[in-house]
Amino acid sequence: MNVSKTTINRNSYRRSIVPIAWLLLIGFDVCLMALTYAQDQPQTATANPQQAITQLAGPDVADEDAVRFEAIDVFVDSGSNALAAYQFELASESPGVEIVGIEGGEHAAFEEPPFYDPKAMNNNRVILAAFNTGDNLPSGRSRVARIHVQLQGSGAKQYRTELKASATTDGQRIQAQIEIAKAGA
């Protein structure tokens, strides 16, 4: 009689474990979906003062199927502080824009191309970051990167930029502004 009682207890134990595992899995899936949903939501320019929408002019007479290439210069203005590190996001808000290349900046501290995820460029969006621990660092307005884009169609294209981080030599956050412009403009 003792043996059957043990068997019953083991079976009921197994039955109670399976639903708990399912509940944990379902809870994990719900959290994952919430995180994905939050990341996919468009952000407004007023949500973050470091975020801006910039419109860069394009030709009005181009064939809608015509492809052209342009370069976009990215400037960070750190005021009187030395800029040792930055991170920003650039995303196209217009159709027909593909990011195809990235170069470094004009100052020796940032002349190497910044770090970025090449796979992210497939979504017309890229996050760039660079840092320099040296003594020769820019201050004020400095071109930190040049982004090459392939454009299809005519007219102006809109880009969203957001400066996510800027820091000085001791790692302290500093106030800085980000700006983009067509290269050579």
Q: Is 63's pLDDT higher than 90?
A: no
Instruction: Flag the least confident range among 29-43, 89-103, 130-144, 169-183.
Output: 29-43
Average pLDDT score over residue span 94-118? 92
In a domain, 118, yes or no: yes
Q: Quick check: is 46 in a domain?
A: no
Phi then psi for residue 111, to 5 deg, are: -75, -20
Average pLDDT, the chain: 81
Residues contacting 159, CB < 8 A, separation 6+: 53, 54, 55, 56, 72, 90, 91, 92, 93, 94, 97, 180
Same domain, 80 and 168: yes
Residues 69 and 155 in one domain: yes
Is 92 inside any structural domain? yes
Same domain, 24 and 109: no
Q: Taking 60 as the threshold, does the pLDDT of residue 2 lie above it?
A: no
How would you label 101-137 residue by residue, b for 16+ Cβ within 10 Å and e otherwise? Answer: ebbbbbbebbeeebebeeeebeebbbbbebbbeeeeb
Residues 1 and 89 in one domain: no
For the chain, the domain total comes to: 2
Do residue 63 and residue 118 come from a single domain?
A: yes
Confidence label for 46 from pLDDT (cuts 50, 70 and 90): very low
Same domain for 113 and 169, yes or no, is yes
pLDDT for the residue numbered 17:
58
Helix, strand, coil percent content, the chain, rounded in steps of 5: 25, 40, 30
Express as a percent the part of the chain with pLDDT over 70: 72
Residues 94 and 137 grouped into a single domain:
yes
pLDDT at position 42 is: 47
Residue 68's domain comprises: 51-182
Statement: residue 27 has pLDDT above 80: no
- Considering the domain architecture, whether residues 165 and 119 belong to the same structural domain is answered as yes
Confidence of residue 80 (pLDDT cuts 50, 70, 90): very high
Judge if 10 and 93 occupy the same domain: no
CATH of the domain at 164: 2.60.40.680
Q: Are 62 and 110 found together in one domain?
A: yes
